[in-house]
A and B are shown apart, each in its own frame.
Chain A
Amino acid sequence: LLFFHGCDAEKDLVVSLASMSTKERIKAIQKLPETMTKKREIRNKVLNEITKQSRHRGAQSSCTQCLQGAAVSFRRFGNTLSEYFHLLRIWHKALKIIGAEFGTSVLTYFVFLKWLLYFNIFSFLINFGFITVPQFLAAEPNNLSFTGLELFTGAGYFQQTILYYGFYTNATISKIENGPSYNMQLAYIFTVGIYFVICFLILLFSMAKSFCRNFLNPQAYTGHASKLLCTWDFNITNEKAVKLKQKNLSTQIKEDLTEVKKEVIDFSVTERLIRIGIHLLAWVASLGTAVAACTGVYFLAINNLELFMKGHRNDLESQAAMLVLPVVASLLNTLIPFLFSWLGHLERFQTPGQHIYVTIIRNIILKMSIVGILCYYWLHIVAASESQCWETLVGQDIYRLVLVDFIFCLLGSFFGEFLRRIIGTTVCVSLGLPEFDIGRNVLDLICAQTLTWIGILFSPLLPGIQMIAFFIVFFVKKVSLLRNCQPPSKVWRTAQMKTSFMFLLFCPSFLGVLSVIGVTVWRLKPSEGCGPFRGLSSMYAAVSEWIQILESYTASKWVVWIYHNLITSELFFFILSSIVLIVTYLYWQIIQGRKTMTKLLRKQISN
């Protein structure tokens, strides 16, 4: 921050600004904490200084004047261009309205939804461009008939379309004889692989940036100073929300003041034992419910597969039977969290924050174990079954799950918010308007995105479907929020929430997806009769075969060298991990040293 007092300081400022590049100079002027008139003065002085300096350097020929004029108009053009880019920011106005009416905590859900949408758009574009468009050139005709039921079950007519893995050819496509050819196998595996690598990097960097910004000093938040001066949400412009926030703050301050007196109360040994006993019981109950749900889903899935293998393929009854598994799984996912929150109410937690975290952890365990058991079923049972094209079967299962999940999300909004508002305003007025349940909705999003990521390998256009689903979900949730809900009465620590959501997306969700994809690509045998990898021993074999082909060309020996010595060599990864560990340890020591330094300096200031 550039402060200045007095005339000399101003002169120094002008000189230093004149020596910066244009972009830096504009940024520095924008950041000056001065009035507009003052900033304009400084800007004019800086521009004069620049022309003076350039005049000193050399005779100002018409050429330099030309260049300067060109630079100015180029900058103006760049500004207009960036204005048009701003139009691409989707939902900008809607997000502003939501933030104004309900505060930033509810806004984080919608911003998270937008972020996930970008992942899906990116995946859809590269899959469509690199995998589907070439496939159009080598498409086989589709003999099946289209009935409307395919939209729900994903089977039938859709089975032989670009929607699923099974339709893609394993040939090397070339339209012109001896012309450039397009190897579908490599395209498929590299597109999916590179997409996941990019996702991994994006998630890692966003998480690190968010973590760095928001967890610098976790103890600072419990202090009253920051609670008072830093938590007022200046975004809110709705009168009711403002009043609510004020009431909230005063309640919190009152609680803090009385907490100081209550801190001394200690629990007796029996009371503590009882509390621990209740917590243990609740955990056993929740884990038990999760295990029971998983077992149920597993046996239902096996049953489903048997029926499918035995019975007729295309009549209405068996089509409807295919929907049972996703509906049951989604029902369990929706209803069991209510059980968990009821359990949470029974246990008496010390702070409401603990209650929220424990409930979220239990929900995550439930959802991830259901997804996990389904993955196990797909990778071990379906892949080993004698069906004609197991990848397409898995793809269809995931399609149905995604669709039913989407429908349940909309239903949840309908029942949880719309009906609840009607009940709260007419029948049982003491309940009042519902609040937007941020935790539950975000977990739903994470679960949906996990399924989509798992499904990319088996159904390349699934991100496109999820994209459309997210658009609809955003619209429905926004309308439901604005019509039915009241602003949140709890205090949410928004920045920590954002980081936790990103972390939850990364840690159980994305890493789990990576392991599933890894097992599929490296260990499982692709089906013989369909898909780009038919006949190979594993999907990864396509890459190793390609490397073998490359070995015969001298021009690409370096690619082969990289492959053998870096990617498949264990020694390289061992060395890399050791280096990363050493660097981490060094950084950690530096941080410890800086902490001691800060303490010393702080002591010096106060003395």
Chain B
Amino acid sequence: MGNKQTVFTQEQLDAYQDCTFFTRKEILRLFYRYRDLAPQLVPLDYTNKPAVTLPYELIGSMPELKDNPFRQRIAEVFSEHGDGNMTLDDFLDMFSVLSEMAPRDLKAYYAFKIYDFNNDDYICKSDLEKTVNKLTRNELTPEEVSLVCEKVIYEADVDNDGKLSLEDFQHMIVRAPDFL
């Protein structure tokens, strides 16, 4: 692609490179992926910072997210107003955190927000039940789901308040090496 690109100003690219884990080429490639979702909505010139938002349906149809059971929560967590509609900034932010270069603490923080369905900064029993159902495609009976959630809270809750706070969750992630 060379040094001649007209999508962003140099300062904008510098800012993106400082704020995400991506290189210049990757940022441009992601921009073109974003644009491919809706070429008529996304302008080719971002130098004057247009306010363009893509609806959730387009984001959720991307091949990387299409089969992920948590795609709706992921889009909601990273979108500006929590409704799943993403600007380019949100889009870059989302892929930056999901990329392999992001550190585990950052991923753990966002994983917590994804599993927190009611956005109250705690993973309570109902959040866990929804998580279990998404992870097992509704194959377990409601009693089994409830039993599993109780066990999880019993094991991971350090401060004994009946729900998982961010610190409990991070404590658990530190001890689980398989977290991706």
Contacts and interface: CB of A to CB of B under 8 A. Distances in A.
Interface of A: 1, 26, 29-31, 33, 35-37, 39-40, 43-44, 72, 76, 79-80, 82-83, 86, 104, 213-217, 220-221, 223-226, 228-239, 242-243, 246-247, 249-250, 253-254, 257, 493-496, 602, 605-606
Given A30-B21, A247-B139, A602-B158, A35 B90 contact: yes
Nearest to A226: B176
Contacts of B159: 605-606
Contacts of B69: 242, 246
Given A35-B89, A225-B155, A83 B24 contact: yes
Given A30-B18, A31-B106, 11 more contacts: A43-B19, A83-B25, A86-B23, A225-B155, A226-B172, A226-B175, A242-B69, A247-B136, A247-B137, A250-B140, A254-B140
Contact of A494 (B19, B80, B178): B178
Contacts of A254: 140, 144
Contact of A35 (B17, B80, B115, B140): B80
B4 interface: no
Nearest to B92: A36
B121 to A, nearest CB: 12
Given A26-B18, A76-B14, A606-B160, A33 B106 contact: yes
B18 A253 contact: no
Contacts of A104: 180
B132 to A, nearest CB: 7
Contacts of A233: 180
Interface of B: 14-15, 17-21, 23-25, 63-69, 78, 80, 89-90, 92-93, 96, 98, 103, 105-106, 109-111, 115, 128, 131-132, 135-137, 139-140, 144, 147-148, 151-153, 155-156, 158-160, 169, 172-180
Interface of chain A: mostly helix, strand, loop or mixed: helix
A250 B136 contact: yes
B120 to A, nearest CB: 16
Contacts of B135: 228, 232, 246, 249-250
Contacts of A253: 132, 136, 140, 144, 148
Given A1-B109, A35-B89, A234-B68, A79 B17 contact: yes
Nearest to B128: A228
A221 B177 CA distance: 9
Contact of B15 (A40, A220, A257): A40
Contacts of A239: 66-67
B19 A250 contact: no
A29 B19 contact: yes
A529 B86 CA distance: 75
Most chain B CB within 10 A, of A30, A37, A236, A247, is at A30
Interface of chain B: mostly helix, strand, loop or mixed: helix
Contacts of A86: 23
B176 A230 contact: yes
A228 B132 contact: yes
B15 A43 contact: yes
B106 A1 contact: yes
A495 B105 contact: no
Contacts of A495: 177-178
A233 B179 CA distance: 8
A335 B173 CA distance: 41
Question: A-B pairs with the 5 shortest C-beta distances?
Answer: A250-B136, A495-B177, A36-B89, A220-B175, A214-B177
Nearest to B168: A225
Contacts of B176: 220-221, 226, 230-231
Contacts of A246: 69, 135-137, 139
A403 to B, nearest CB: 36
A214 B67 CA distance: 29
8 contacts: A36-B92, A83-B23, A224-B155, A231-B176, A237-B67, A238-B67, A249-B135, A254-B144
Contacts of B64: 237
Contacts of A238: 67
Contacts of B15: 40, 43-44
A37 B89 contact: yes
A243 B139 CA distance: 11
Contacts of A226: 156, 172, 175-176, 178
A39 B19 contact: yes
Nearest to A223: B155
A257 B148 contact: yes
A26 B14 CA distance: 11
B86 to A, nearest CB: 11
A76 B14 CA distance: 8
A242 B137 CA distance: 10
A43 B18 CA distance: 8
Given A37-B89, A238-B67, A602-B158, A224 B180 contact: no
B177 A216 contact: yes
A26 B144 CA distance: 46
Contact of A80 (B24, B103, B160): B24
Contacts of A216: 174-175, 177
B148 A79 contact: no
Contacts of B147: 257
Contacts of A26: 18
Contacts of B21: 30
A229 B147 CA distance: 15
B106 A40 contact: no
Contact of B175 (A1, A76, A217, A236): A217
B103 A496 contact: no
A213 B173 CA distance: 12
Contacts of A39: 19
Most chain A CB within 10 A, of B20, B68, B178, B179, is at B178
Given A229-B115, A229-B131, A229-B152, A606 B158 contact: yes
A228 B155 CA distance: 12
A187 B103 CA distance: 43
Given A31-B103, A225-B155, A231-B178, A79 B67 contact: no
